[in-house]
């Protein structure tokens, strides 16, 4: 059984995951509008990942006998300066999400909720991967100054990404 504090914080995280999904879908729409279909695809995959993350939290709350309470999602940005700015904002956002996950883990430790700690460890590991992946793309974009043939090649590579629901246990 979840403590009320843990239940409240997990519900807040569901909201944060859905906000993240909208954030990435907004980026995808913007990237499509400026002709970067590969980067748009990459962001659409991020959108799908965030939806699956939210559902994993949703299912966990239900499994632990808690009550899911969905909250309104705040508006997301719609415009950016360029592709480098988009990936800088993506990295900042993933760092914020890492902080949110770490806060949840801190609460699980304080509440002596070993099941929540076990559940949240997946997200701790996932955030390391998320930040690293975004940093790699950002570094490449900066190398080519977000322009020209280099951008064309990066965009082509980003088009290859496909959604794999990593929240499903194997």
Q: For the segment 49-88, what is each residue's pLDDT rounded down to a tens digit?
A: 999 999 999 999 999 999 999 999 999 999 999 999 999 9
Alpha carbons 36 and 165: distance in angstroms, whole number:
24
Q: For residue 169, what pLDDT band results from cuts at 50, 70 and 90?
A: low
Which residue, chain included where needed, has tokens 């194997």? Answer: 170
Give yes or no for a contact between 71 and 15, defined as CB atoms under 8 angstroms apart.
yes
DSSP class of residue 166? T
pTM of the model as a whole: 0.94
Q: State yes or no: pLDDT of 139 exceeds 90.
A: yes
CATH 1.20.1260.10 fits 4-158, yes or no: yes
Average pLDDT over residues 158-164: 95
Q: For the segment 90-117, what is each residue's pLDDT rounded down to a tens digit?
A: 999 999 999 999 999 999 999 999 999 9
Q: For residue 170, what pLDDT band results from cuts at 50, 70 and 90?
A: very low
User: First and final CA of the chain: distance in angstroms?
Assistant: 25
């Amino acid at each position: 059984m979840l403590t009320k504090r843990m239940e409240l914080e997990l519900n807040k995280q569901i909201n944060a995951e859905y906000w993240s999904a909208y954030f990435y879908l907004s980026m995808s729409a913007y990237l499509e509008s400026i002709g970067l279909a590969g980067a748009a695809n990459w962001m659409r995959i991020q959108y799908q990942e965030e939806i699956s993350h939210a559902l994993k939290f949703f299912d966990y709350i239900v499994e632990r006998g808690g009550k899911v309470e969905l909250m309104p999602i705040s508006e997301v940005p719609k415009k950016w300066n360029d592709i480098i700015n988009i990936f800088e904002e993506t990295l900042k956002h993933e760092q914020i999400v890492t902080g949110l996950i770490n806060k949840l883990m801190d609460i699980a430790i304080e509440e002596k909720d070993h099941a929540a700690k076990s559940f949240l460890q997946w997200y701790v590991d996932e955030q390391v991967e998320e930040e690293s992946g975004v940093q790699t793309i950002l570094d490449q974009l900066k190398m080519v100054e977000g322009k020209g043939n280099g951008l064309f090649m990066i965009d082509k590579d980003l088009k290859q990404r496909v959604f794999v629901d990593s929240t499903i246990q194997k």
